[in-house]
Every structure is written in C-alpha cells, then in structure tokens.
Amino acid sequence: MVETVANPYLDGNFAPIREEIIADTLQVIGELPQDLSGMFVRNGPNPQWPPIDQYHWFDGDGMLHGARINNGKAIYRNNYVQTRRWKTEYEAGKAIGSGLLEPQMDNQGISKNTANTALVWHGGQMLALWEGGAPHAIKVPELETISKYTYDGKLVSAFTAHPKIDPVTGEMMFFGYSFMPPYLQYSIVSAAGELLRTVPIELPTAVMMHDFAITENYTIFMDLPLSFRPERIQRGEPMLMFESDRSSRFGIIPRYGDNSNIRWFDSPPCYVFHTLNAYEQGDEVVLIACRMSSTSVLQSNSNADIPYLYQWRFNLKTGLVREEMLDDMPVEFPRINENLLGRETRYGYVGKMANSSLPLFEGLVKHDFSTGNSQIHDFGQGRYGGEAVFVPRPNAINEDDGWLITFVYDEGSKASELVVVDAQKLTHEPVARVLIPQRVPYGFHGTWVSEEQINRSVGV
C-alpha cells in the first residue's frame, strides 16, 4: 500500500476556510489607538472546493480578510473575490479548473485568474490583483466584488500584483509580462485613475517578473533568469526554470520613457520576488530587495531559495553595478512607509522567516539603513504571521511614527489575531491584539485604506 503524503498547503493554517462572516463584537487585548482609523485588508489563496489535481499554494481562489478599525473598536469580515473561475466552480459545486502545476488552461477553458495575490487602492478604487490577468474591482468596506477592471477597455496586458504609486504625483505604474511577445509591457495610470500609456519593453525571452521598483524619475525592471521556454516541455522538463548560467539584468528607464531609452545593467544570477524600495542618490540609482541566489518556485525548497536583504547601486554615469548583502537574516515580504516610496528611507520592515520548509514568519524586523542596525519583534512561540503593512500616524513628523499591522496565527490555541505593533517600539508587546472569531489562513499581501478614503469612495 502506497502512503499518501498530505499537501502541506491544504493543512494546518494553510488550509482554506469556507465561511464568509461579519463580526463586530471583537475582543481587544491591549488598546487600539484612537487615531488609527481605517481598514486593513489582506489577500490570499483559499480554494472554495477540494482541488482535483496537484495543488500549489499560489492556486487558491482569492479571499479578502478585512479589519475596519475606528474609535478603538474593530469589525472583521471576509469575502471571496468572485472571479469568472470562482463563479463557474461555485455554480458547478466542485473544482473544475487546474492549477499552476497543470497545463496552462484547463479543459473547460476557464481562466486561472484567481485575484488572490495583492491589493492596491488607487483613484478611489480598491483592486484585487493577480499577475497573470486583469484586476478585479472591490467595494469597500463591504469587500464585495464589483467586476473585472480593465480601465474602460484600455488594459492590453496582464497587471502585476505589485503596482507602484508615486506619493507625490499620485501616478501609478504597473507592468504585465507574457509568455509571447511582447514579453513585457509598461503602463502608467494618472492620479485620477485613467490609463495614460502602455509601451512594450523588449526582452530576449519570456521571464517571470513578479515585482519592480520606481524612483522619483525612473522605473526599474528585473530581467532575471527565471525563464519560460516552451521547448523544454518537449524534453520532459518544466517550462519555467531558473537558468543559473545566465546573468541578471536590471533595466532602468525614465518614467515616461520607452524601449529606446531603457538602460540595462548586468549582475550575477539571482531571483527577486519582492522589492523594498528604490531611490536616486547622485549618479546612482539604489535598489533594495529580498534576493535569492536561485529559486525552484513551484518545486521543493532548497538553501538557494532563502531570501536575504540586498542592495544594488547602478551608476548611470559609469555603468558600474555594486551588489551588497545588508543582513544575513532570512527575510521576505518587505514594506516601507509608502508616503516615501521612490525616495530614500531610513527604515524598512520585513517578515522574519522561521526555520521551516514552509513559508512561515515568526516575527518582524525593522532595518535602520542609516546605522545598519535592526530590531526584531517576535510573535511568540508557535505563533506565525505574515506581511506587515506600515500605517503612518496622522500628521506624523518622523518616518517611523506609525504602526505595523498583520494577522498572526497561534498554533497552540488554533486561533487568529490582528496584531498592531508600534513601529517606534518594535521590541515591545503589541499595543493591541484583536481576537478574530474564525481562523485566518496564511496569505500574501495587504493594504491599508484610511477612513477618509473609505468615506470619499462611498460619497460620505
């Protein structure tokens, strides 16, 4: 008899939940700050039906978990993102579509767009994101799906899970990558939410480009050696593979530039899932991101998959590149005070990875780039969280005056909490722990929407 090995991404706190609830009488341990007013929303994979094929964590239907905080109280709700795929399978009462480890389109022709990866608030609208397709508009604070969002039909590419919003101009930059030429397309959306332009960027081959970065004047693309090559399938190899003999390329383009004025810089092979920030300093463009020496992506983890915080300096005058490890602690899910995105920041916040073959985060790390020092907030034994979003205190003067917010799961009590940490007192206990009445599975990326933004969006 062959022993069946359980899929770890369908077990424990990776396992999906089925109920969509609203809870408004939440117990708070500590005290929610009176000037913390708005809604934290996090996206993540949550298959509504048991998968029919091989299941990868990236495959699950998008589910939004939100906590609206106001006057020292919190309301929790969670909703599926009702994509075309979700609706089709909901009506069928079973899973139909295949996943990332299966052929690219299932036999029913159902798009894989699960809208399960991230969120962005821009132009008065929240969007649920998945890098292989179009965003989905979400109603806030209800977290109800409105529809697929294509910018009045102007969207001609996929839409990255990590768009960047310039905090000064309000413009949003995004890109889409493809298996077929053009392999990369770069777009800009106005502060009011109008898609202004899309230009193709030439790449030698199709690559998985999960993230990018912006500065005040430039956009930075990463042509890294994680490539899609259909011919590999004929040799019995995965179409998506890391090519360790190929260098990494970083392309720097003026914000309103095109393929004719992008400048490429070569560096040793690596992979970057997430960037922390980028900025200009003299003749150099500086990029800070979580770097892995290689990645297996959809396969089992190895030492090469461990990410560390790195810095690259690209000299626009000499063409030289300097690459430097900033810390030897395994970290991921980087965030900053996004009021300074694209400008030099003193602080960065990342998730501290646990010693596990699974993507578990045992705490938060605050890096001080001016001193090189870091502080750690430990979630506690058997407690694991995720990406923490930085929420600036209203009218704050200092960059780190605000809170870090994330969901934490306690494996002992089998319960989830919303944790609020004072970013200026990172090593202290959380200022507040909001007990959630149902389990919140581990997920991906979140965002914060202020009460003022919510009220403006609903016409209050």
Residue 459 confidence (pLDDT): 53
Supply the DSSP string of 240-297, one letter for each residue. EEE-TTS-EEEEEEETT--GGG-EEEEESS-EEEEEEEEEEETTEEEEEEEEES---T
In this structure, what are the phi and psi dihedrals at residue 275, rounded to the nearest 5 degrees?
-95, 150
Give the chain's length: 460
Residue type, 341: L
The rounded Cα 9 to chain-centroid distance in angstroms is: 18
Residue 232 confidence (pLDDT): 75
Q: How many CB atoms lie within 10 A of CB 168?
A: 13
| Spatial distance between the Cα atoms of 284 and 328, rounded to a whole number of angstroms | 24
Q: Two tokens at 341?
A: 């995105």
pLDDT (tens, 9 = 90+) of the chain, 460 residues, equals 333 458 999 999 999 999 999 999 899 999 999 999 999 999 999 999 998 878 889 999 999 999 999 999 999 999 999 999 999 999 999 998 666 655 544 444 456 899 999 999 999 999 999 999 999 999 999 999 999 999 999 999 999 999 999 999 999 999 999 989 999 999 999 999 999 999 999 999 999 999 999 999 999 999 999 988 877 777 777 778 888 899 999 999 999 999 999 999 999 999 999 999 999 999 999 999 999 998 877 554 555 589 999 999 999 999 999 999 999 999 999 999 999 999 999 999 999 999 998 999 999 999 999 999 999 999 999 999 999 999 999 999 999 999 999 999 999 999 999 999 999 999 999 999 999 999 999 999 999 999 999 988 765 4
* Beta bridge partners of residue 263, listed in sequence order: 252
Q: What residue has token string 């048991």?
A: 50
Query: From the DSSP assignment, how many helices (H) and strands (E) are in the chain?
Result: 3, 34
User: How many Cα atoms sit within 13 Å of 45 on the Cβ side?
Assistant: 19
| Spatial distance between the Cα atoms of 336 and 248, rounded to a whole number of angstroms | 25
**CA neighbor of 211 nearest in space, from 253, 255, 245, 177:** 177
Q: How many CB atoms lie within 10 A of CB 278?
A: 26
Element (H, E) at 128: strand 125-129
First-to-last CA distance in the chain?
Answer: 64
- Angle formed at CA 356 by CA 352 and CA 360, multiple of 5 degrees: 45
Task: Say if pTM beats, i.e. exceeds, 0.85.
Answer: yes
For 228, 230, 232, the CA distances from 236, given in Å and listed in that order, are: 14, 11, 7
What residue spans of 93-243 are helical by DSSP H? 231-234
**CA neighbor of 223 nearest in space, from 209, 244, 233:** 209
Residue 298 confidence (pLDDT): 55
Residue type, 414: K
Residue type, 391: V
Residue type, 351: G
Pairing relation of β-strands 144-148 and 321-325? unpaired
Residue 2 confidence (pLDDT): 35
| Spatial distance between the Cα atoms of 80 and 87, rounded to a whole number of angstroms | 10
In this structure, what are the phi and psi dihedrals at residue 37, rounded to the nearest 5 degrees?
-140, 115
Residue type, 453: Q
Residue 297 confidence (pLDDT): 72
Residue 175 confidence (pLDDT): 98
Classify 396 as helix, strand or coil: coil
User: How many Cα atoms sit within 13 Å of 397 on the Cβ side?
Assistant: 0
| Spatial distance between the Cα atoms of 440 and 432, rounded to a whole number of angstroms | 17
| Spatial distance between the Cα atoms of 43 and 78, rounded to a whole number of angstroms | 10
- Whether residue 263 contacts residue 218, with contact meaning beta carbons closer than 8 Å, is answered with no
